[in-house]
Structure 1
Amino acid sequence: MAQKTGYLAEKLKLFHLSDKRQWTCPYHYHDFDKITLFFRGHVSYDVEGTAYDLQPFDIVVIPAGRIHRPIIYGDAVYERIIAYISPSYLQGYERRGCPAGQIFTRENAPILRQPQEADNLYNVSCRLRRAWADMGPESPLLQETLFTEFMIHLTRALQKDKLHVVQKGHQNEKIRRILAYIEENLSGDLSISSLAAAFFMSPDYLMHLFKAETGMTAASYITTKRLQKARHLMQEGRALTEICYDCGFTNYSTFYRAWKNHYHTSPKEGSRAFPDSFDE
């Protein structure tokens, strides 16, 4: 099963990382939104089973709950800035007239390619990168200030269609349709046999193809997606028994075990969590 990773205690967490290793990161997801500003390396970004080859200054947009992983090839230096963003941080933009939340609600592919020319977004991307060379006591404030400017220009660039949305990824068309079907039918019957019948293939072939293309078993993927939906419904204040069945679990004990195994707490305890608390 894809694991939830990262812990966000504050409204915004910024990292500048530069390392050299060949690595396939495990599939994982976060309960907060994430942006990666890529600078260099030989990297593909796999989002929900579709892999995109990155180019310098690409912006990877990962909404909360989206299963993803970077795949690092060779021994080239992999440099990027990563931002973990809480819902309340985005709400702060909204209150001040910048609809930055639209960055994560778009239905397009997750890779945004900015033109490398003397425009505002590219310039602030460069200044944000250089900010990590500043080692003064006020450096974190400078980095956060520049990230605010980056988010404003990113929002404007999307509104004005100045960014290229990278649509071409490496994915089996059958798997793409299966993933879309799962997303649309989380409350229904998603047993392997029913999925296989819906797509006119044998259960064994479906399980093999799903694992080969996504790196996850179909059952683990479905359970993860259902638990993500359950967490979202909890934050709306819905009753746990209602959530259980709305998310496709056949009974409460099955839901309880799945939640306990994944979040290491009971659903009742999880339902009391504040929206901005992101437990590991």
Structure 2
Amino acid sequence: MYEKTGYLTEPLKLFYVSDKRDWACPVHYHEFDKVMLFFQGDVTYEIEGKSYRLQPYDIVVVPAGQMHRPVVGGTHTYERIIAYISPAYIESYRQRGCDLSALFQTASPILRQPQEAGSLYGASCRLRQACCAESCAHHAVLKETLFLEFLIYLAQSIQERHIGYVKTGRQNEKIQRLLTYINEHLQDELSVPALAEQLCISPDYLMHLFKEETGYSLGQYITIKRLLLARSLMQQDRPLTEVCYDSGFKQYSTFYRAWKKYYGASPAKGIPPQTRLFLE
């Protein structure tokens, strides 16, 4: 399900990418937040079963744990700046009186900024120019400084409602209802027959439809969401048995096998310090 391209071992990682290729990106998720500033390309972004057609200077905000992928047309250059952001990065600025939490509390994950003179658009242009420039001794610091400026103006634009929210294109209403239900009931029984009954469809059709719309099997999706919940509970230093049951696993052996499969170690070894990156 993943192409391993590196690890997030610091509060912030920035990438400028401009390429042209036919690419079937798989549906995936990160355990950190992601912000992408899109400049050009033939790209539709799918996030949690919803589809969004991107326009130049759109901003894609994907909170940790959300399933997503770009659908890329290979005949056009796909140019973007990608930022992988750890909770520590946001928290460090909150403690200094700069609250950026609005970035991940938006009505839509795709934000459309006016392409006119203004703080946010100006910061976007300066960041793009810095990323395209030749590297020098201070290049990394300059990019990170300009990116912080971009985030501050973006958070202000969201809070002051000076930015547009992109509506979805294609989506399946049944699957959207199901995704909402699953994420609100991770601690409850989520068997296929019970979920199929919620939607008044057969279990076989539900599994086929879910895979077609999201790229995941229903069981995979539920397991991953429960593991992410377990990970957040472990960060609170709660006992492993409590973490197991409070994240929806009915047996510790099931929790143990799932954790080891996805993280490569037993839960007793704690939260893995590194997270896979997927440059998309």
Please tell me the TM-score bracket, short chain as reference: over 0.9
The letter for the 2-side match of 1:119 is G
Superposed CA deviations along residues 152-193 of structure 1, whole A, max 9, x for unmatched, are: 111111111011011223210000001001001111111111
Contact 1:2 1:221 in 2 (8 A): no
Superposed CA deviations along residues 53-83 of structure 1, whole A, max 9, x for unmatched, are: 1100000011111111111013100000001
User: Residue 184 and residue 3 in structure 1: after superposition, are their counterparts in 2 closer, same or farther (change >3 A)?
Assistant: farther
User: Residue 3 and residue 237 in structure 1: after superposition, are their counterparts in 2 closer, same or farther (change >3 A)?
Assistant: farther
Aligned to 2:240: 240
User: Residue 2 and residue 248 in structure 1: after superposition, are their counterparts in 2 closer, same or farther (change >3 A)?
Assistant: farther
Residues of 1 paired with 2:43 and 2:246: CA distance? 38
> Displacement, 1:140?
0.7
User: Residue 225 and residue 208 in structure 1: after superposition, are their counterparts in 2 closer, same or farther (change >3 A)?
Assistant: same
Contact 1:58 1:112 in 2 (8 A): yes
Task: Report whether the alignment pairs 1:278 with 2:277.
Answer: no
Aligned to 2:100: 100
Aligned to 1:217: 217
Aligned to 1:160: 160
Gaps spanning 5+ residues in structure 1: where? none
TM-score by length of 2: 0.94
TM-score by length of 1: 0.94
Aligned to 1:37, the other structure's residue is in SS state strand
Residues of 2 paired with 1:172 and 1:251: CA distance? 33
Residues of 1 paired with 2:127 and 2:88: CA distance? 22
Residues of 2 paired with 1:169 and 1:121: CA distance? 26
Residues of 2 paired with 1:52 and 1:143: CA distance? 28
Aligned to 2:182: 182
Aligned to 1:50: 50
Gaps spanning 5+ residues in structure 2: where? none
The letter for the 2-side match of 1:278 is Q
127-136 or 109-118, larger mean C-alpha shift = 127-136
Contact 2:187 2:247 in 1 (8 A): yes
User: Residue 5 and residue 202 in structure 1: after superposition, are their counterparts in 2 closer, same or farther (change >3 A)?
Assistant: farther
Return structure 1 stretches of 4+ with deviation > 4 angstroms: 1-6
Contact 2:102 2:159 in 1 (8 A): no
Contact 1:11 1:86 in 2 (8 A): yes
Residues of 2 paired with 1:155 and 1:82: CA distance? 17
Contact 1:5 1:29 in 2 (8 A): no
Aligned to 1:115: 114
Superposed CA deviations along residues 128-173 of structure 1, whole A, max 9, x for unmatched, are: 0010213211111111111111011111111110110112232100
CA RMSD, Structure 1 to Structure 2 (Å) = 1.6
Give the % identical residues. 56
Aligned to 1:13: 13
The letter for the 2-side match of 1:139 is H
The aligned length equals 275
